[in-house]
Amino acid sequence: MLFQVKKVAALLLLATTFVGVSVAVPTTQVQLNTYTYTNNVFSGQIYVENLAYTKVVKVIWSDASNNWSGSSTNAAYYQSISGTNYEYWNFNTTIGSAGISQFYISYQVNGNTYYDNNGGSGKNYVVSTTTTSPSTTTTSATGSPTATPPSGLSSWITSENAISNTFMYNNINTPGSATGFIVASPSTSNPDYYYSWVRDSALTMHVVVDQFNTTSAKNSTVANIIKDYVTFQAKTQTESTPCNCLGEPKFNPDGTAYTGAWGRPQNDGPAERAITLMQFADSWIGQGNDPSYVTNTLNPVIFKDLNYITTVWSNSCFDLWEEVNALHFFTLMVQRRALLAGANYAARNGQSNNYNSVASSISSKIDTFYSSSNGYITYSQNYNSGINYKSSGLDVAVLLGAIHGGMGDDFYTASSDKILATSVHIKSAFASLYPINSGTTVGVAIGRYPEDQYNGVGTSQGNPWFLATTLYAELYYRAISEWKAAGKITVTSISQPFFAQFYSAAKAGDVYASSSSQFTTVTTAVANAADLFFATVQKHANADGSLNEEFDRSSGFSTGAVKLTWSHAAFITAAKARSGKPVF
Ligand SMILES: *[C@@H]1O[C@H](CO)[C@@H](O)[C@H](O)[C@H]1NC(C)=O
Ligand SMILES: *[C@@H]1O[C@H](CO)[C@@H](O)[C@H](O)[C@H]1NC(C)=O
Ligand SMILES: *[C@@H]1O[C@H](CO)[C@@H](O)[C@H](O)[C@H]1NC(C)=O
Ligand SMILES: *[C@@H]1O[C@H](CO)[C@@H](O)[C@H](O)[C@H]1NC(C)=O
């Protein structure tokens, strides 16, 4: 998300210039590349940013009983890394009889000291008796579904859920902004996310509306927060905007349109907003509140959005990452859902419409995104403009389409065979792409798409995203709920590779009734694998539990916009799916 379009030309130039440079250097000043510890010899290689001629790079370790008595060795310059401002430094030392259990790296330069402690305090590199470097091991066992989630994970999820809820609410109605403003992140520079995106706001408010419908039913504080959101959105619908349409993607804190260059329109926003507001209207009425609020305030906003979708759905527009102007699987999925829910809602609200018939045209179009030769759903088609290097066609946006556009009707929902097949391809791509995924004992860290160049601030190399990683946990748990509701699991030739990850004997045509041992085997292993994705988030979250947009593909440190509202909202919906009650 949040990619500034006017940078595209410069970016393409950069990408071309650097073709041939294959070394992925870190974005931090110092970073372990590889290490080994065998026969008491501890050696390895470190990436060091060349900040000055005089540098001291030390590796510091604790003994076998984890006593930090000051054992260390100096690393030595080995060679520079061509095309970058980084160097390789090597170390090689013999560990005495006291042994080694953990280590970290310090780098002193220009009077500053930088550290690589594998993701923060308490997270040093842990050395086993015979160990091989994370980045030299093969990735086949990465995030193996048979690995065990860390003990205490459930209670961590409970506390992180509460923390996410706090950080999410902190970003709603931020001081000094117009009523109902929901900031994407409090970050005001590098990157500046101090805006309200229609999409991020609607997906966040979807979580709040779900709370109003369940745990916070009849809570007037929560109801007023949602009404503030409605006030802000209703105003933006009538603002004059550069696109002069409801697909304008982002607004300033005072509610006026952002008028700089941007990827517009983005026609998923009105659909997500309509879905959220229709659910609020139904809860509002279901709880016996004043129906005139729905008639006079909510319905005009909702029907504007639904009518807009009927006129634009077949046009290309920018995607949810704001980078590609084309026809998108994700966008069509949320538009279809909005119209199908809208047809039902309009009928109950006495509004004549063509929503069902347009939704059926959208469904037919969505069916054309699956590539049987690739075995997965391609994220977009009819490329028009924007970045043009997404050659694989793989993108977690497709899986987000299942979550935010799924309607429990088996049309590209979490348990549908094409979605499951797509999830396998995307996960494998990231397993081998990101250094932190090598030899990891948690789930694969997932990014947006393999060719991503946005690093959270500018362009170099993409990183894993918190919301993309929690998305896998949510997808798996939603699939489990759907299998339970169906009373069976059906393996098709398309989904067989998904099931083979968890049950090697799975073959096309198998049907596992909910009473069968295979059903238990598969659902247990999928839940386990989902928990490993939560464990990935646990490993890389900030110490205070806040979630940035991204975490670094090499160091695992948080990077990009801090306290991203969507990261926290996505954590909450994943935790709800784990509890067996996915957000509707
Ligand atoms: C840690 O190691 C140092 C140096 O060998 C030793 O003096 C100290 O007693 C050790 N501490 C513990 C708690 O074993
Ligand atoms: C480390 O030093 C030992 C002893 O000099 C040598 O045998 C070994 O090859 C060295 N290892 C590396 C990776 O340089
Ligand atoms: C209503 O929700 C708010 C915000 O979540 C919470 O602080 C408050 O305690 C709730 N009120 C009641 C009566 O449950
Ligand atoms: C939850 O939403 C449904 C409609 O989706 C509605 O029928 C029900 O009354 C709502 N429940 C509460 C507690 O708001």
What string of DSSP letters covers 51-62? --S-EEEEEEEE
282 in contact with ligand 4, CB cutoff 6 A = yes
Q: Which of 75, 71, 74 is nearest to 98 (CA)?
A: 71
| Residue nearest atom 10 of ligand 3, based on CA coordinates | 219
**110-124, pLDDT tens digit by residue?**
888 898 888 765 578
Please tell me the distance from the alpha carbon of residue 51 to that of residue 103, in angstroms, as a whole number: 23
Give the pairing type, strands 86-94 and 196-197.
unpaired
Same domain assignment for residues 223 and 317 = yes
- One-letter amino acid identity for 471? L
- At 146 the pLDDT is 61
Residue 332 sits in a domain whose CATH number is 1.50.10.10
Q: How far apart are CA 482 and CA 522, in angstroms?
A: 13
Phi/psi of residue 46, nearest 5 degrees: -130, 140
Ligand closest to the CA atom of residue 70: 1
Structure tokens at 247: 């697909």
d(CA 577, CA 580): 5
Q: For residue 287, which atom of ligand 4 is closest to its CA?
A: 14
Please tell me whether residues 249 and 113 are part of one structural domain.
Answer: no
Q: Are residues 275 and 360 in the same domain?
A: yes
- Those residues of the chain that have pLDDT short of 70 are 1-23, 120-122, 128-146
213 lines ligand 4 (CB under 6 A): yes
- Which atom of ligand 3 is nearest to 222's Cα? 2
pLDDT of residue 164: 98
State which of 96, 126, 156 marks the end of a domain.
126
- Rounded Cα distance, 533 and 537, in Å: 7
Query: Atom 3, ligand 1: which residue's CA is nearest?
Result: 69
Among protein residues, the one whose CA lies closest to atom 13 of ligand 4? 213
Burial letters for 483-508: b for 16+ Cβ neighbours within 10 Å, e otherwise?
beeeeebebbebbbbbbebbbeebee
One of 210, 305, 322, 531 is an active-site residue; which one?
A: 322
Residue among 457, 443, 476, 318 at smallest CA distance from 386: 318
Domain, as residue range, for 310 = 177-388
Q: What is the pLDDT of residue 134?
A: 43
Closest-approaching ligand to the CA atom of 99: 1
At 3 the pLDDT is 45
Q: Do 244 and 329 lie in a common domain?
A: yes
CB 283 within 8 A of CB 213: yes
In terms of domains, do 93 and 191 share one? no
Considering the domain architecture, whether residues 101 and 189 belong to the same structural domain is answered as no
Best residue among 164, 213, 216, 224 to mutate for probing ligand 3's pocket (most ligand atoms within 8 Å of CB) is 216
Q: Does residue 69's CB lie within 6 angstroms of at least one atom of ligand 1? A: yes
Question: Looking at the structure, do residues 203 and 122 belong to the same domain, yes or no?
Answer: no
Distance 286 CA to ligand 4 centre (A): 5
Buried b (16+ CB within 10 A) or exposed e, 315-328: ebbbbbbbbbbbbb
For residue 63, report the distance from its CA to the centre of ligand 1, in Å. 9
Tell me the backbone φ, ψ of residue 535, rounded to 5 degrees.
-65, -30
Domain termination residue (choose one: 388, 410, 434): 388
pLDDT at 485: 96
Whether residues 220 and 320 share a domain: the answer is: yes
Which of ligand 1's atoms lies nearest the C-alpha of 67? 1
Which ligand is closest to the CA of 162, given by its number? 3
> Which of 160, 228, 319, 452 does the annotation list as catalytic?
319
- Ligand 3 centroid distance, CA of 221 (Å): 6
Same domain? For 105 and 222 the reply is: no
Q: Where are the beta strands (DSSP E) in 102-159?
A: 102-109, 112-116, 125-126
Considering only CA atoms, which of 176, 167, 178 is closest in space to residue 251?
178
What pLDDT is attached to residue 19?
Answer: 33
SS (H, E, C) 307-358: HHHHHHCCCCEECCCCCEEEEEHHHHHHHHHHHHHHHHHHHHCCCCCCHHHH
- The total number of structural domains in the chain stands at 2
- pLDDT of the residue at 122: 55
Coil, helix or strand at residue 460: coil
Cα-to-centroid distance, 213 and ligand 3 (Å): 13
The whole-angstrom separation of Cα 530 and Cα 422 is: 16
pTM (2 decimals)?
0.76
- Confidence at residue 361, expressed as pLDDT on a 0 to 100 scale: 98
The shares of helix, strand and coil residues in the chain, as percent rounded to the nearest 5, are: 40, 15, 45
- pLDDT of the residue at 341: 98
Residue 92 CA to ligand 2 center (angstroms) comes to 6
Ligand 2 nearest-atom number relative to CA 43:
13
510 is catalytic: no
Which one of the ligands is nearest to 65 CA?
A: 1
Do the Cβ atoms of 489 and 522 come closer than 8 Å?
yes
d(Cα 391, Cα 504) in Å, to the nearest integer?
31
Pocket test for ligand 1, best of 60, 62, 63, 67 (most atoms within 8 A of CB): 67
d(CA 305, CA 272): 9
Residue 489 lies in a domain: no
**What atom in ligand 4 is closest to the CA of residue 283?**
14
Contact 341, 282 (CB under 8 A): no
Closest listed residue to residue 372, CA positions, set 406, 341, 418, 331 = 418
Distance CA 554, CA 32 (A): 9
Q: Which atom of ligand 4 is nearest to the CA of 213?
A: 14
322 tagged catalytic: yes
Task: Yes or no: say if 215 and 208 are a contact pair by the CB < 8 Å rule.
Answer: no
**Ligand 3 site-directed mutation target among 172, 173, 221, most atoms within 8 Å of CB:** 221
Please tell me whether residues 184 and 274 are part of one structural domain: yes
Q: Is residue 278 one of the residues assigned to a domain? A: yes
Could you tell me if residue 33 is left (phi over 0), alpha (psi between -120 and 50 degrees) or otherwise beta? alpha
- At 16 the pLDDT is 32
In angstroms, rounded to a whole number, what is the distance separating the alpha carbons of residues 45 and 31? 9
Is 309 part of a structural domain of the chain?
Answer: yes
Q: Are residues 252 and 334 both part of a single domain?
A: yes
pLDDT in the model for residue 21:
36
Last residue of a domain, one of 388, 416, 434: 388
Q: Residue type for 326, please? A: A
The CATH number of whichever domain residue 89 belongs to comes to 2.60.40.2440
Q: How far apart are CA 556 and CA 539, in angstroms?
A: 8
Q: Which of 508, 425, 520 is nearest to 480 (CA)?
A: 520
Strands (E), 13-118: 30-38, 41-49, 55-62, 71-74, 76-80, 86-94, 102-109, 112-116
Nearest Cα residue to 48 out of 22, 69, 79, 71: 79
Spacing, Cα 325 to ligand 2 middle (Å): 53
Judgement on whether residues 62 and 194 belong to the same structural domain of the protein: no
Ligand 2 centre distance from Cα of residue 88 (Å): 16
For ligand 4, say whether the CB of 283 is within 6 Å of any of its atoms.
yes
66 alpha carbon – ligand 1 mean position (Å): 10
